[in-house]
Structure 1
């Protein structure tokens, strides 16, 4: 009797009523799957193009798999086009910029969230107003100041230019997160004799690890893919180019090395993908925590 009941239960699992009730979920899964495939297809096509010869890139159409893998495209991009040096420059600029932005935005968000001072609302209004200022409008004063300081053709000037912006989104993320923390944390620290820097560095900043991961990822993506400022800062110093600017090496007067460019793009995207896989959980937690507040 038990076997019969189990058999009926298993049989009813695929009954027409159950199928009709689950049909919307299956439909949603199919739609999400198709959308995901359309979203990831250009990335897969780029990986396939990086292993094709220049002629096959145009003759293969939408095909992803190359007829014969041309691994020489990667060696040409790494050595001949100088992407080994560009990668080092990009890592130096990106890591330094991320550290400066995280420290500056964390401290700014902490002060705006936990301290009341004269002109606080004015400062917040100015920060929010900068969201509506296009980046192209600030390039001229940035270049002018960098030139007068003797930093125009250097990695130091590039780092200061990339990290010296308002970064309002990052400040607001820290502000929202610090605002929801209980006041008792600071009060107990003050009783123990801790000062401003001790409270911020030893208590508040470690608690904001999810937001720090979010800001790190956002700043990393923005700096790693930056093109306009690094292009201006390396006009007369091609050896200081970053990966995004180095893509111009594959564009000639009469032709473009598309397979080499695809290989170079694949190299430049690998660190971004790895970082996102590592920090994706903290990225979601940081966004959710800031919005919840």
Structure 2
């Protein structure tokens, strides 16, 4: 007689994003973070990138109707606890995503939607058409429970050049004005912070600073993807946004602490610190 299985269905999260052939960012990083945070990951691929640790040499977008079909297929069968977006490439894809999400109840008062507004790779290679910035402002952010821009994305989306803490606070106000319930202004690129990395959470009324150690490493590829995915995983568990963000911050701090060199460029942050090696288990 076959042995019975003992699995319990975990929280389920969807990532709507592009691929990274080097394995450091995109849907690969999202799925790793979700697994490390105890969630089952589903995907809707928006683009296939040609990249390694040195940079991006090609971007091939998926037809918008195929992106939408992936979302609707998964949501029609699997109960999603949260959804996060990454690289969305262009306006037609964003519009298709919004229409699909509206049809299946993602965003707004439905399934929590986390928007990581990926505009460029860490090497500076563009991953978002300029015309799509307005689609983020008018279509995506009003449907989001949380937006998680870094400082480069804040400059593109909000027109605020953040060089100090005061500007980070101002950026949070401007970004919140686009409609998300919460905004997290990530401070990893803030040069005035030499020994800490302060992310700033704002809900329209209250600011919360989330400090963490700053590490002397260039191996930070995929940190934004990981953080949004970790937060979405905790939201899928029913954890309130401020607590989910704090847990996502804790996860990313340790993932950067355990980052590793890979290839000739920027290595990835590591989810492996959160995974107990099965081959070393004795119980």
- TM-score bracket for the superposition, by shorter chain length: under 0.3
Q: Relative contact order (alpha carbons < 8 A, sep ≥ 6): 1 or 2 greater?
A: 1
Q: Which has the higher strand share?
A: 2
Give the TM-score normalised by the residue count of structure 1: 0.23
Give the TM-score normalised by the residue count of structure 2: 0.24
Q: Name the larger-Rg structure.
A: 1
